[in-house]
Amino acid sequence: MLKEISLHRITDISVEIPQYDYNWIELTVRNTNDEKFEFTMFLGEGQKKTTVYEFLHKLRDSVEQAIKEHLDAEHSKSDD
C-alpha cells in the first residue's frame, strides 16, 4: 500500500475503463520517482447515474480550469 505520493511531482496519469463493468473507472497516477497511486471509482451510485463519458468530460473541464487559475496566479505574481 502506498503511504504517500508527492502530487506536485505527477508525471503521468492513466484512465482505464474495465471491460467487465462500464460503471467503474480506474485511475493510475505516477510521480517522478515512478511511484504510483491507483484508485477505482464506481460511477453509478445515487439518484443521477453518471456515465463514464460525463465523468471524464467534467474531469477534463476541472483540470483545464485548475491550470488556467494556476497560470493566472503565476502571471499575477510576475506582475508584482
| Beta-carbon count within 10 A of 15 CB | 12
What per-residue confidence (pLDDT) applies to 29?
A: 87
| Residue reference for cell 485548475 | 66
What per-residue confidence (pLDDT) applies to 8?
A: 65
pLDDT tens, per residue, the chain with 80 residues: 556 666 668 888 898 888 877 778 898 988 888 888 888 888 876 667 777 788 888 888 998 998 889 888 888 888 76
**Contact indicator for 31, 11 with CB cutoff of 8 Å:** yes
| Residue reference for cell 467487465 | 20
Angle formed at CA 67 by CA 66 and CA 68, multiple of 5 degrees: 90
- Cα 44 to chain centroid, rounded: 18
What per-residue confidence (pLDDT) applies to 7?
A: 60
DSSP code of residue 9: G
